[in-house]
Chain A
Amino acid sequence: MATLELSKIRNIGISAHIDSGKTTLTERILFYTQRIHRIHEVKGKDNVGATMDFMELERERGITIQSAATYCEWKGNHVNIIDTPGHVDFTIEVERSLRVLDGAILVLCGVAGVQSQSLTVDRQMRRYKVPRLAFINKLDRSGANPRRVVEGLRDKLKLNAVLMQIPIGLEANFLGMVDLVTMRAMRFEGDNGERIIEEEIPTALRAEAEAAREQMLDAVSMFSDELTEAILEEKVTEELIRDAVRKGVLSLGLCPVFLGSAYKNKGVQPLLDAVNAYLPSPEDVQNTAIDLENEEQPIALSSDANKPLVALAFKLEDGRYGQLTYVRAYQGMLTRGQTITNSRTKKRVKVGRLVRMHANDMEEIESSAGGDIVALFGVDCASGDTFTDGSIEVAMSSMFVPEAVISLSIKNKDSKNQGNFSKALGRFVREDPTFRSAVDPESGETIISGMGELHLDVYVERMKREYGVEVETGAPQVAYRETISQRAEYLYVHRKQTGGSGQYGKIGGYVEPITDGSKDFEFLDEVRGGSVPNEFIPSVEKGFRSMIGKGRLIGFPVIGLRVVLNDGAAHSVDSSDNAFQAAARGAFREVYPRAKPIILEPLMKLGVEGPIEFQGSVLKTILQRRGTVIGTTEAEGFCQVEAEVPLAQMFGYATDLRSNTQGKAEFTLEFARYAPAPRDVTEELIKKYGTRVKGGDEE
Chain B
Amino acid sequence: MYQKFLTARSPVRLLEKGLHGGLGKGNLGLVLAGHGIGKTSFLVGVALDELLRGGHVLHVAIDQTVAHTRAHYDTLFGEMASNARLDDAPLVHADVERRRSIRAVSSGTFGSAKLREAVKIQQETGSAPVLVILENFDATRAGQDELAEMKALAQEIGAEIWLSVACPGEQVDGLPGALAKARDCFGVILALEPEGKSVALRALKDHENPDVSALRVALDPRTLLLTRS
Binding site for B on A (CB under 8 A): 155-156, 615-616, 619-620, 623, 628-635, 642, 675-676
Tell me, rounded to whole Å, the shortest Cβ–Cβ distance linking A199 to chain B: 36
Q: Which residues of B contact A628 (CB under 8 A)?
A: 94, 97-98
Give a binary string over B45-89; 1 marks a CB under 8 Å from any A CB, 0 the rest: 000000000000000000001110110000000000000000000
A515 and chain B: residue at smallest CB distance = B90
Most chain A Cβ neighbours within 10 Å, of B70, B97, B125: B125
The answer to whether residues A634 and B103 also contact, given A623-B126, A628-B97, A628-B98 and a CB cut-off of 8 A, is yes
Q: How many A-B residue pairs have CB under 8 A?
A: 51
B69 and chain A: residue at smallest CB distance = A631
Q: How far is the CA of A616 from the CA of B101 in the complex (A)?
A: 13
The answer to whether residues A632 and B106 also contact, given A616-B121, A620-B124, A676-B90 and a CB cut-off of 8 A, is no
Q: Which residues of A contact B102 (CB under 8 A)?
A: 630-632
- B103 contacts A631, C-beta separation under 8 Å: yes
Give a binary string over B124-157; 1 marks a CB under 8 Å from any A CB, 0 the rest: 1111000000000000000000000000000000
A642 and chain B: residue at smallest CB distance = B66
Contact for B104 among A615, A616, A623, A633, CB less than 8 A: A633
Q: How far is the CA of A428 from the CA of B194 in the complex (A)?
A: 64
The answer to whether the Cβ of B1 comes within 8 Å of any Cβ in the partner chain is no
Q: How far is the CA of A676 from the CA of B120 in the complex (A)?
A: 32
Most chain B Cβ neighbours within 10 Å, of A155, A633, A675: A633
Q: How far is the CA of A633 from the CA of B66 in the complex (A)?
A: 7
25 inter-chain pairs at a CB distance below 8 angstroms, sorted by A residue, are: A155-B65, A615-B121, A616-B121, A619-B121, A619-B125, A620-B124, A620-B125, A623-B126, A628-B94, A628-B97, A630-B66, A630-B70, A631-B66, A631-B67, A631-B69, A631-B103, A631-B104, A632-B101, A632-B102, A632-B103, A633-B65, A633-B66, A634-B104, A634-B106, A634-B109
- A632 contacts B97, C-beta separation under 8 Å: no
Q: How far is the CA of A633 from the CA of B105 in the complex (A)?
A: 6
Q: Which residues of B contact A156 (CB under 8 A)?
A: 65
Q: Which residues of A contact B124 (CB under 8 A)?
A: 616, 620
Q: Which residues of A contact B70 (CB under 8 A)?
A: 630-631
A633 and chain B: residue at smallest CB distance = B104
Q: How far is the CA of A42 from the CA of B126 in the complex (A)?
A: 42
Q: How far is the CA of A675 from the CA of B95 in the complex (A)?
A: 13
Tell me, rounded to whole Å, the shortest Cβ–Cβ distance linking A680 to chain B: 14
Q: Sort A-B residue pairs by CB-CB distance and give the 4 closest, nearest first.
A: A631-B66, A631-B102, A633-B104, A616-B121
A603 and chain B: residue at smallest CB distance = B94
Contact for A630 among B97, B105, B109, CB less than 8 A: B97
Q: Which residues of A contact B91 (CB under 8 A)?
A: 676
B101 and chain A: residue at smallest CB distance = A629
A158 and chain B: residue at smallest CB distance = B65
Q: How far is the CA of A103 from the CA of B180 in the complex (A)?
A: 57
Q: How far is the CA of A630 from the CA of B71 in the complex (A)?
A: 11
- B109 contacts A631, C-beta separation under 8 Å: no
- B94 contacts A675, C-beta separation under 8 Å: yes
Tell me, rounded to whole Å, the shortest Cβ–Cβ distance linking A483 to chain B: 12
Tell me, rounded to whole Å, the shortest Cβ–Cβ distance linking B42 to chain A: 20
Q: Which residues of B contact A642 (CB under 8 A)?
A: 66
Tell me, rounded to whole Å, the shortest Cβ–Cβ distance linking B2 to chain A: 16
Q: Which residues of A contact B97 (CB under 8 A)?
A: 628, 630
- A632 contacts B104, C-beta separation under 8 Å: yes
Q: How far is the CA of A630 from the CA of B120 in the complex (A)?
A: 18
Q: Which residues of A contact B127 (CB under 8 A)?
A: 623
A486 and chain B: residue at smallest CB distance = B87
Q: Which residues of B contact A676 (CB under 8 A)?
A: 90-91
Q: How far is the CA of A642 from the CA of B97 in the complex (A)?
A: 12
- A631 contacts B101, C-beta separation under 8 Å: yes
Give a binary string over B102-120; 1 marks a CB under 8 Å from any A CB, 0 the rest: 1111100100000000001
Tell me, rounded to whole Å, the shortest Cβ–Cβ distance linking B137 to chain A: 15
Tell me, rounded to whole Å, the shortest Cβ–Cβ distance linking A153 to chain B: 14
Q: Which residues of B contact A620 (CB under 8 A)?
A: 124-125
In the complex, besides A623-B125, A632-B103, 20 extra interface pairs with C-beta distance below 8 angstroms are: A619-B125, A620-B124, A623-B126, A628-B97, A628-B98, A630-B70, A630-B102, A631-B70, A631-B101, A631-B102, A631-B103, A632-B66, A632-B102, A632-B104, A633-B103, A634-B106, A635-B106, A675-B94, A676-B90, A676-B91
Q: How far is the CA of A144 from the CA of B120 in the complex (A)?
A: 30
The answer to whether residues A616 and B125 also contact, given A155-B65, A631-B66 and a CB cut-off of 8 A, is yes
Tell me, rounded to whole Å, the shortest Cβ–Cβ distance linking B67 to chain A: 8
Tell me, rounded to whole Å, the shortest Cβ–Cβ distance linking A216 to chain B: 25
Q: Which residues of A contact B109 (CB under 8 A)?
A: 634
Q: How far is the CA of A431 from the CA of B105 in the complex (A)?
A: 43
Q: How far is the CA of A629 from the CA of B106 in the complex (A)?
A: 19
Q: Which residues of B contact A630 (CB under 8 A)?
A: 66, 70, 97, 102
Give a binary string over B14-26; 1 marks a CB under 8 Å from any A CB, 0 the rest: 0000000000000
Most chain A Cβ neighbours within 10 Å, of B69, B120, B121: B121
Q: Which residues of B contact A629 (CB under 8 A)?
A: 101
Q: How far is the CA of A423 from the CA of B90 in the complex (A)?
A: 46
Q: Which residues of A contact B106 (CB under 8 A)?
A: 634-635
